[in-house]
Chains A and B, each alone.
Chain A
Amino acid sequence: MRLITGPAGSGKTAWVLDRFREALRANDPAVRLLVPTATMAQHLGNQIAREGFVFRRGLIETLNAFVETQVSDFAPASDEIVYLLVEEAIARVDRPEFRRVARMHGFCARLAHAILEFSAAGCDSGRLAACLPEAPLAAAFLAVYQEVDRALDRRGLLLRAKRLECAAARIHSGGIAGIRTIWLDGFHALPDPELAVIRALGRQAELTLTLPDSPATRSLRAHLLACGFSEERFEKRRGSAAMVLVKAPRLEREVEEIAHRIRKQNAAGRPFREIGIIVRAAETYVPLLRAALERFGIPARFYFETPAAQHPAVRFLTGAVDAMLGGWDHRATLGVLRLAPRFADSPALDRLDFHVREQIPNAGLAALKALLPDPESSFSESALHRFLERLSTLDEFRGLKLTPPDWAARLSGLRDFYRLPRIEDGAAPEAALLWRGHAEALKLFDQTLSEAAMALEPGRLLRLEDFWRAVKSILRLKQLRVPDGRRDVVHVLSAYEARQWTLPVVFVCGLVEGQFPQAPRQDLFFSDAARHSLQQSGIRVRTAADFDEEERALFESAVSRATMLATLSYPEFTARGERNLPSLFLSRLLLAEPSRVVRPAPRFTVAAAPAAAIQSSALLAEMGERTATISVSNLESWLQCPFRYFAGGLLKLKTVPRRPEERLDYSLQGQIVHAVLDRWHKQPEDISKIFAEVFAEVSEREHIPAGYHTERLRAAMLQDLQRFAADTQWQRNGFTSQPEEKFQFALNDSLEITGRIDRLDRDEHDAGYVIDYKYSAVEQVKKKRSGNQLQGPLYLLATEKHFHVRPAGMFFVALKGKVEYVGWSESGLLGSDPIPPEWSQTAERVAEIAAQIRQGRIAPMPADRKICGYCDSRDICRIEVTGAPGFAEAAGQP
């Protein structure tokens, strides 16, 4: 057994490949090149094939694949299955130490992880029991581990390490037919079970193992030498690549800078495939890099996985079952429908979405279907209808009791619900990745079902809920890797993966404290001291010092992956503006270059929109027609701000239906109060009773949920109404009242005015007083008196022109909190102001406003900036409420 050691760039791999080539040339099939990862196997295979060799693929393979051929008759326990068994075992052994955390996913995952770590180090529960170190949780951990081992036994499953040990034993006893020479390249760590295999192989064939120099491999080297390897040292041959350090203000700018530099390299003739990006803090960087590389048109392959549970196909499938189990809660079901690819842009679903929102909370597929207006009205409507019909077939699962394998078989039909639309030709290659992602996710879903079936007791009859819980636990851990076979791509690699690579140009990003090097994750069960003592017993589990060494080794390996140029980078500040500390790995001598601001050139240039105004004659004509009749409130709205009128009054733009708790809003409260008063005036009786009736009707119609908030508002409204009913300021018996009257009258030849008067009271002289209820507080109502009034004079005009009564006064009645009459009258009734003389000009004023509207004057121009704060159109008109720069430009003024 030969061990070749040497630093990065000393030609270890090159030496192995040369030997391999020699064997190929000599047509010697009795060789094997074993590597740690499938990517490396593929990469080396391709490299040799491109040189013109044709050879058996199996000559280069991973150690795992090699071992697999030896033990294919033992069923492996995947990590996910182990997790499920751990969950079960924790519950079964029920240790008091773990009781508080037993049901927490993170805890179970940590425990499973620790068991896997021990097992990988060749330490099963029996071995651990023999040398259990002092640690407060050690005994409890061991109990769970033992239970897991028992469960594995019961199911006939083996952990990976156990399988390796079996393989070693078989190789030892049975040999490896037809293999004389073995090279092992690319390994950095070899836990005991792997070592056992290698030792067994070494006895059967001529074996050479390469090992890079690094602090992290120091003890492994010693171990190997002790096992009988003879060492051969290679010295460094390749010159070091140039190195630059770049700092960018923030993460986003850092990845943009990387993209920028890649583009420059590519423009200078370097193929993308010769460039790599090495990432240590994947969660932070991978999403950003994906976005940035895509934005800048850089094809890239990410050697990373994403949580399967996040994939829409998985979300859809799990969502559908969850929704069914939850009785088809409408909100949840809507969420599922939204994930069905065929309805991603379906107008029918968009409409249904609004209908659903108007009436949630609600449940049941039948109720949902009833919301679809007419299944036959359009293609998309009927497709949706059919889909809901199909979903309802899931209800058959309810109440069934099946064995886990039967459930797995049943549920595998679920994927048929996830129907993708047909794929058009000519899309971007990235689109193919998305499609492939769907295909992978669906496969993975089926795989999950069978794993769940494997982990559960095979013969037990279960309800769907119980089987489903296991499926979801597994899915939570499953990772999805979408294959990407493109040749000319930038490689985005983890620091671990990168150890197998060399590339001309390499970027290493995120060199800040806490990210690279990362902080060791404290083990919950065995402290560092305990781990040291385990090591002393020969169990090679990792200590903090090992971790630190590995981080250092990862860094050194990352920067030595480049043969020409290594670019290191870090962001100076966090997203919150706090300064990052550059990684302590960064040489103090390296001076950081600043980054530049880059953006992809716009795909198209858009001319700014013309000033806010309607000028097209066709549209003006249309506006003229639509404004032949204008309501009083629209006129007031225009006066407040022409754009507000345009968006709200003319276009009547609608937004998403309100959430249940928002439904009883000011406007609806006002409507209720008005309706109650209307009835009360028509048929005076106990106002509380009327209120109760009206409130019940409105609640039903508008789906107002019962509850504290509704109760609170209901109580307030009732109190206000009772107060009004008891109020005696207005001598009602001196008047005849005409409640809730609509009116319409011609202001001139081309303009009709419409509106609604809450109450018209006539005194014994037939003088008319308009009463307008405002369900707002007195201070609010008082403001009406000073404003640019149109409502008052127009109502008085209506009194005369529509109701043919002599107008004598107009009052707003504030109802909230206190009753107060605010208004104008000839007689100064209730302290009102005299009717302003300029009210006589109202007709002319209104005609002028109408003319302006019809000329297309709609630019945002609030009479008072305060109204913008609560105007529904404030996001459309683009006015700045806080007074930031560029008000005029933004508002679309010329």
Chain B
Amino acid sequence: MRFTADQLQAIDTNQSHLDACVTAGPGSGKTTVLVEYFRRLVESGVHPQRILAITFTEKAAANMREKLAAAFADNDETRASLERGWVSTVHGFCARLLRENAVFAGVDPDFYIADERESWRLQQEAIADALCAVFAELPEAVRALIRGLASREFDTLALSAYDAMRGAGMTLEEVAAMPPPPDTAPDELAAIYAALKADPLSGSNPAQRIHVRAICGDLERILHAPGPLEALQAIEAYSGKAGQVKNGTAARQLVSGLKDLLNRLRYTYITAFYCGERQTLLEILRRFDRLYRERKNALGALDFADLEEYAVRLLEENPEIRSAVQRQFDHILMDEFQDTNGQQSRLIKLLRCGGRFYAVGDVNQSIYGFRHAEPQVFRDYRSTVQQGSRRLIDLAENFRSRADILRAVETIAGHAEGVEPRLLIPGKEFAKPRPVAVELMGVLGPDAESALETEARWVARRIAELVSADPPFRFQDIAVLVRNSEVISQFAAGFDEAGIPYVVNRGKGFFEAREVRDLYHLLRIIANPRDEVSLAAVLRSPLVHASDESLLALRLQGNLGESLARLSARPEALPPEEYEKLVRFRDRLHEWRTRRASVSFDRILLEAIDDCGYRAHSWTNIEKFLAQARAAATRMPVDEFVESVSRFRGDDIREPEAPPEDATDTVNIMTAHSAKGLEFPVVFVAALHKGTLNQTPTLAFSRNYGLGARWRNPATGEEKNDLYQHAIHEERKQREREEANRLLYVAMTRAEEHLVLSFSAGGRKPENWAKTILAQLPGVAVETPCEEILTLASPRGEEWKLRVFLTDQQPERLPLAAIAGTQDEVEWLEPPVSSEAHDANATVTAVAAFAACPRRYYLAHYLGFEGRASGPQKSGPRKNETRTGSRSAGEFGSLVHALLAGKPLDNPDPQAAAMAATFQQSALGRRLARASRIEREFDFLMSVEGVVLRGQIDLWFEEGGELVLVDYKTDAVSAVEAHQRAQEYAIQVRLYALAVEQIAGRPPDRAWLHFLRPNVLIPVDLTPSLLDSPEQMVRDLREAQAKQQFPLREGEHCTRCSFFRGLCASQYKA
């Protein structure tokens, strides 16, 4: 890689001990320089984790990390350290800092970062509650505020002022304590009054004298008004007219300035008049601040501003941590320094210490004032460096754009207000010359709307020409940048008409995208199908494709949802296919509704999508919505999720659309702001005439002046600023003018090969950027259609060519060659043929339970229910439960088994001991004492028919050449019942016998069930028919599992079953 001299200076690590300020013009290879500097630092021995590199966007951070990874591709160790390194956005850095020092920072170490949507929701709730609380406490004060404030939409205004305040790094108390901006108006008025009063008015005629006296009277009333209201009324009553004061006199001069002064004085008195309301307003904000913080705390959430605020607080309050963090980094690299806000610059100050700060930026590209960026921070730093280390570097060479484009930028925007005049030196070599690289296109029409429509058509037409030219551009090479997103729809319509593929990049209409709406309405009816609007939307969508006739036919029978649910026979008016669609959907809806709490809703949506092979304009939007649904499903039910989305839609909160698939060959339409940091071969800066409405809101904040408001003048009812607001307004006007020029500068410098500037004028003089541009192109007469190529000179005297095309005609449509199929082809997969869906394992008890009643097996063993979950009983001992003393049957049984297994027990239950003795004293018990081999509590694994069975044989032994198997039962049964039960237990014993056979090498000779309570010993037949064989039982079980069919076996045993009349549908009657 070859570097220019400036670049070499920028990446020189010999000076790395000095603070540096790098001004990096557009296309100057700033990222390359940053990455290279980083790389060289590492090569010079700095550990990668000792460099803090802060970028402005996630994208830039990712880009930088990727480049660094590539730079150290063959050094695994460095790469690994880089991965733990500190290349991130400010927010990323703050989040990490806070997590590592959570205790000192006073934040939940597991905090999560609430995204904009969530913070918005929390803020909305908090402000609503704050307003209600303050209203409940101070109703009169709030009423006064409502009457006084010039806007009644207090909440949105308050929130945006709050946001700005935090961005600037100021607390509410600091803001509340700010005095009004210096106000000399009262003194000036007093001085004028005194001067007029003292003026002898020589040379004036009597009428003039009388008039001046009257003026003095008016002024006196103002100056001596008992309160601000009277003063404001007195100002309105002022009747002086400069024309009635003798010309050329001092008095005349004094009077002629009065109108202006009185207007300023209104600010003064409005401020005084509304000082109580201002306090109410601050109180509401305080309350809001508290509630909002509480809400976040309860959730363990931080918003983006918190990240910065808490990081600053952490470093300010904990000097040891601050110096540890300062010591942690040898170098701090900061990209886009001009875009830092007040809070961020405070943070940077806390991190910096002595000569190792490396800032890169370009004031000319500072366009985020609306996000509270303060380019002054960069300017101040630059002058500090200039006076200090003098390590100032200017990267003026541009490796992006053709020379003519750069000259056009210099000519048009290079000297505009807010743009620092800097050189743009072309540094890139292009393979082929381009005779004309810059165009100006103007459309003249009868009115603004139709002219814009025509402009969009011409832009489309020009794009069609460029992609058909030789050599052609691709659609994806082209970007259309606009200042105001309102016009995007016009261009989109124009492109539709011309068949030009496009995406609205970072468009904000996510929730309005059709696919998102379809899915959203589906969720709404899953929440409640009585919502007819949503149901109709879904029925008409491709998810169902129902006809309007269906809607009508259903609605004629009542509520749409209820009619659909009730639909049992085909209405006469509907054809069979239509009926089928409805029924199918109804059944699916029922399924989804029953599962909605158990599965995350994204999966239900996917089912709906897959049911019909739903096709979407933007699959990424679908994915984005699914991701939101998935995330929400872990925290809230579907009802709440749809409600939150509907709030969003209702309040018209603009959520960005998902980024489109990378592979698609489409024109990008985007706002100039979102084009920052991007470059395209061809750029259209379109709708140049269209500005943005940038009124100062009724409530506004500025770092310099604090909180300002616009009020109703009590004397006139008209709206009037207070002193704060007035100052803020002036400041904003200035900033916006400058920023608009810089935005144009940024937009134009996105172009590599070709730049088209286009505007329309609907019977009016060109406005906004169109005006700025034309002012620099005196040779262009905008009134008359023309097409010509002009040769112009840049301020440095270099020539460049401009094609000027002005028209009042409609373009002819240019047929486009078929658009190459860059969209991915979808492969549709049929479902797999069903596989062996049975379980790998089963217990012997389960197989026996299955043999007795498949349904009971299913509920108790396969699903794991404990009957009572659905039983009708009240809490307390279960109806069907046998108890022995304080123990349940199960506990008691285990105790007896343990005793019989010879386990040592501390205090054996006498009842259990007695029962164990029953066996020990039985004939079998006596044989056992003589046995040559004994296995007790034999828990085994055995594979039968591909299923691994687990079981536990109570006892088997060998005595007198006979193999004997015993199973104890502690069931509370009579002798007669024991014989019935024995049938149920037989299969279990046969399976045990199978296991014994495999171990002992021969089948048991006898098997016994010993019912201990009635002391009945029952032999089990070990040679059953094939149908009853244990193997067959296992096969049946496998099949039942595969088919998920577990029929009921109703009988007397049902009455003993804990699922009876509960989860089981048995209708058994004794």
Contact = CB atoms under 8 A, between A and B. Distances in A.
B1044 A426 contact: yes
A-B pairs with the 5 shortest C-beta distances? A413-B875, A577-B659, A106-B110, A602-B613, A708-B131
A876 B590 contact: no
Interface residues of B, number: 177
A653 B548 CA distance: 13
Interface string A409-444: 110111110111111011111011011111110110
B514 A878 contact: yes
B594 A882 contact: no
Contacts of B862: 432, 436
A429 B1044 contact: yes
Contacts of A628: none
A54 B941 contact: yes
Contacts of A887: 496
Contacts of B132: 707-708
B1005 interface: no
6 contacts: A54-B999, A421-B594, A426-B1043, A584-B80, A598-B826, A883-B493
A775 interface: no
Interface string B75-119: 010011001100000000000000110111011111100000000
A646 B548 contact: yes
B597 A416 contact: no
B31 to A, nearest CB: 13
B832 A298 contact: yes
B924 interface: no
A708 B158 CA distance: 14
B1046 A435 contact: no
A572 to B, nearest CB: 8
Nearest to B998: A54
Nearest to A652: B555
A459 interface: no
Interface stretch (A321-329, A341-349, A739-747, A756-764): A341-349
Interface stretch (A7-15, A197-205, A263-271, A780-788): A263-271
B840 interface: yes
Contacts of A296: 829, 831-832
B545 A875 contact: no
B384 interface: no
Contacts of A98: 103
Contact of B943 (A42, A49, A579): A49
Given A295-B610, A878-B541, 16 more contacts: A263-B829, A294-B603, A339-B597, A350-B528, A354-B530, A413-B874, A429-B1041, A436-B863, A436-B864, A439-B864, A483-B864, A488-B836, A520-B84, A599-B827, A650-B552, A881-B489
B533 A548 contact: no
A609 B610 contact: no
A497 to B, nearest CB: 17
Contacts of B875: 409-410, 412-414, 416
B547 A610 contact: yes
Nearest to B299: A105
A716 B154 CA distance: 14
B111 to A, nearest CB: 7
B560 A57 contact: no
A252 interface: yes
Nearest to B60: A578
A615 B574 CA distance: 10
Contact of B870 (A58, A297, A420, A647): A420
Contact of B838 (A45, A486, A596, A708): A486
Contact of A711 (B146, B590, B603, B659): B146
Interface string B531-542: 111101100111
B147 interface: yes
Contact of B103 (A414, A486, A524, A656): A524
Given A295-B610, A573-B662, A578-B59, A432 B1044 contact: yes
B879 to A, nearest CB: 12
Contact of B939 (A49, A57, A431, A877): A57
Contacts of B521: 875
Given A575-B624, A708-B154, A873 B496 contact: no
A618 B572 contact: yes
A622 B556 contact: yes
Contact of A604 (B104, B612, B627, B832): B612
A344 B551 contact: no
B1014 interface: no
B188 interface: no
B536 A876 contact: yes
B83 A584 contact: yes
A212 interface: no
A488 B297 CA distance: 46
Nearest to A579: B62
Contacts of A338: 597, 637, 639
B420 interface: no
B69 interface: yes
Given A260-B829, A598-B829, A345 B593 contact: yes
Contacts, number: 452
Interface string A586-611: 00100000001111111111111110
Contacts of B555: 651-653
A437 B600 CA distance: 14
Contacts of A654: 530-533, 559
A614 B548 contact: yes
B65 A615 contact: no
B183 interface: no
Interface in A645-665: 646-647, 650-656, 659, 661-662
A101 B546 contact: no
Interface residues of A, number: 175
B876 interface: yes
Contacts of B65: 513, 581
A109 interface: yes
Contact of B830 (A415, A601, A661): A601
A579 B939 contact: no
A97 B103 contact: yes
A712 B146 contact: yes
A748 interface: no
Given A48-B941, A602-B611, A890 B514 contact: yes
Contact of A578 (B62, B840, B871): B62
Interface string B901-914: 00000000000000
B1044 A428 contact: yes
Contacts of B210: none
A354 B534 CA distance: 14
Nearest to B59: A578
A708 B142 contact: yes
A310 interface: yes
B135 A101 contact: no
A517 interface: yes
B1028 interface: no
Contacts of B849: none
Contact of A609 (B545, B607, B826, B858): B545
Point out which of A339, A519, A577, A614 has the most chain B C-beta atoms below 10 A from its C-beta. Answer: A577
B695 interface: no
B597 A107 contact: no
B537 A876 contact: yes
Interface string A484-527: 01111000000000000000000000000110010110101000
A597 B128 CA distance: 46
A141 to B, nearest CB: 10
B561 A105 contact: no
A528 B511 CA distance: 46
B873 interface: yes
B292 to A, nearest CB: 16
Interface in A398-416: 409-410, 412-416
B61 to A, nearest CB: 8
B490 interface: yes
Given A350-B561, A883-B496, A49 B611 contact: no
Contact of B83 (A110, A266, A517, A612): A517
A45 B948 contact: yes
